[in-house]
Structure formats: structure tokens, C-alpha cells
Structure 1
Amino acid sequence: MNTLLQTLHEQGLLRLANDLAASHSQWMPALGDIVSESAEIQGLRRAVPALVETAALLQALHQQGLLRLARDAVTTQAQWAPMLSEIAGDYLNDEELKKALHNLLLVLTTLWSRIEPEQLRSLALALGDGLQYLVGHPPGNGAAAAPGLVGLYRMSKDESLWRGLMPVIEALKVFTTKLAAEAGRPAAASGKEPQQS
């Protein structure tokens, strides 16, 4: 130990270490600023949450066996890729399938992209409840007879029935108006008959 200290002293390293320790308050903040302003350090700091999320995702995929499935799919690509490309080629040459895929793409881009997610969620829940009711109450299972004129009159005064039907009626009006506009005709809701030329 004494020999090591004597060597460090002779080389001037002990004095250098002593000077660095004494001037620590002067150079340490500047060094910290340089390190904190480094683009690589900033990028690493921003990437840490993403790296943590990626590690959690990989762990979940591993636990579900999906990583092994993906690895097996990649390693056996030479066996299934030619068959898949042949099937895809057969289908892509089918004009009806091309038209169906094009129509599906149109529906997805024009209809679904215009609906807000919360509105779509409400619509899906309402449709689900309605279908569940229909499945639980099929027509003709002991339902009452036709209401007759008096029953129809009572139904016309049922506020809850009209509150439920009005959105459907208004949606049909919008639908027919849009169809008429696309066809270049005045809408039937305007009360005017199209003129014959």
C-alpha cells in the first residue's frame, strides 16, 4: 500500500486528485450541464419509458406463446409462403372479390371514419341490447293480438314510443335526402315532385 501511495505521489496523481476534489464545486456543475444537454442523453431519457413498455409487451407476448408462434412462422416460411402466394394470386384474379374488397374499403373509409368512437360505442351498445331483447322475445310466442284502431290510436299517443322512433325516422330522412342528392334529384322530403322533361 505504501509503495502504491509513493508511486502515485511521485507521478503527481495524488496532487491532481487533491486539486480536483478541492475544485469540485467549480467544475462539477459545468460537467453536469454538458451531460444533461447532450442530445444522446436526452434521447435516452425520452426512450426509457418506451423501452420499459417494450419490455412489458415482449414479456406478455412470450407468456401468451405468441413470440414462439412468430418465430415458428418465420422459420417455416419456405414451406407456407409459396402456397399462400398461390392462394392470394387466385383470389386477386377474381373480379368479384376485387370489387367486394374495394366496396369494403369504401365502407370503412367513408362510414366508420365519420363516426366518433364514443358515438359508435353507444350505437353498438344500443344495437346489442336491442338484439338481446329480440332473441329473448321472438315474435309469436304468446304475444297479444293486433291492436286494432283503438290500440293504434293509443299507440299514437305513447310519448315513449315516439321518443324511441324519432331518431330512426330522422335517420331515414337524412338517408333518403343524401341518396336523392347523390342521384341528382330533389329530395322527396321537400314535398316537390321531380319535373318531367
Structure 2
Amino acid sequence: MAQRIDYDVKPTPIGPTARDELDRLLETLHERGALRLANDLVGANDRVFKVLIDGLSKEGSLNAIQNLSILGMALSRIPPSEFYKVVFALKGACHAVGQYKPSDKHDEAPGVTGAYKMLHDDDLWGALMPIIEGLKTFASQLDTEVDKPITAFSGKPSAN
């Protein structure tokens, strides 16, 4: 009697295989010059690192890195809801300043009586008080001496 033949039907390929995709990726990297760049960087890694380290060890670069770090520390302390209010208040203020057109009744200086009337304007004082408080806080913060910003930020002493 005849023996049974085992035959597994291979599925019909639907799309490219992983090998085809890898070959295509490699060819694209080659055509775009990315492989040459990677090979050159690996071959010249000691020179590249020397240029990077020399650039980063300059006083200006160190100051820029530290200033960005301080900005990040300050931004991390501001709750997003407060930051949102301040940023969009500044946006609105800039828009109002840019769109301002003097009306006919304000074409002259207010004079002494006009300035006196402004002193009793509750809306004006309501708008000025946050700015005045902000300026007082800003001035008091300018008087604070900080030896190391990270120590002032975290409260922990840092090693030299």
C-alpha cells in the first residue's frame, strides 16, 4: 500500500516579511547617507568626543546648561494652573496693548483732577494691586543671595 505524503501548505504571503522590511530599511539608510554618517562617527568617536567635551567645558556653555537647569527647577515649582493663568494673562495683555487705540475723550493728559479721580477708581486699583504685589515680591527675591542654586532649591547641601 502507498505511504501517506505529509504536505504542509505554506500560507500565501500577504505583505513583506521582516527580512524584506529590514533590507528596505538598510537600503534607505544607505541611500540617505545615514550609514556613512554612523560609520564616520564610530570611526572618529575620540575626535568627536573631544570636540564635544571641549565645547561643553567652556564657561559660556556651562553657564547656559546651569541656567537651563535653574529655569527647569523654577518651572517645576509652578503648578500648571497658575502657570496657565499667568501665561494667558500675559497673552491677553499683549493683545490688548497691540489693539489699543486712544478714544477721543483720552486725547489729553488727565491733569491733577483726572489723576485725583483715578485714585478713587476701584477697577484701576484692582488691576494694579497684583502688579504691585508682584513687584514687591520680585524686589525682595532680588535681595536674596544664593551661593549654589541647587542648595537653595532642594534645601540640601551640595558637595563641591
TM-score bracket, shorter-length normalisation: 0.5 to 0.7
Q: Rg larger in 1 or in 2?
A: 1
Unaligned 5+ segments in structure 2 are: 1-27, 147-160
CA distance in 2, matches of 1:158, 1:101: 47
Percent identical pairs in the alignment equals: 29
TM-score normalised by L of structure 1: 0.45
CA distance in 2, matches of 1:155, 1:131: 23
Task: Using CA pairs under 8 Å that are at least 6 residues apart, name the structure with larger relative contact order, 1 or 2.
Answer: 2
CA distance in 2, matches of 1:80, 1:137: 55
Query: Does the residue aligned with 1:145 lie in a helix, a strand or coil?
Result: coil
Larger proportion of helix: 1
1:97 to 58, 61, 64: 61
1:78 aligns with 2:39: yes
**1:126-145 deviations in Å (ceiling 9; x for gaps):** 11111112222389xxx623
Aligned match of 1:117? 80
Shift of 1:123: 0.9
Unaligned 5+ segments in structure 1 are: 1-67, 185-197
TM-score normalised by L of structure 2: 0.54
* Structure 1 residues 128 and 96: alpha-carbon distance in aligned structure 2, compared to 1, 3 A threshold: same
Aligned match of 2:124? 161
Matches within 5 A, 1:33-182: 75=35, 76-79=37-40, 88-109=52-73, 111-137=74-100, 144-180=107-143, 182=144
Shift of 1:92: 1.1
Shift of 1:73: 8.8
Shift of 1:164: 0.9
Q: CA RMSD in A?
A: 3.4
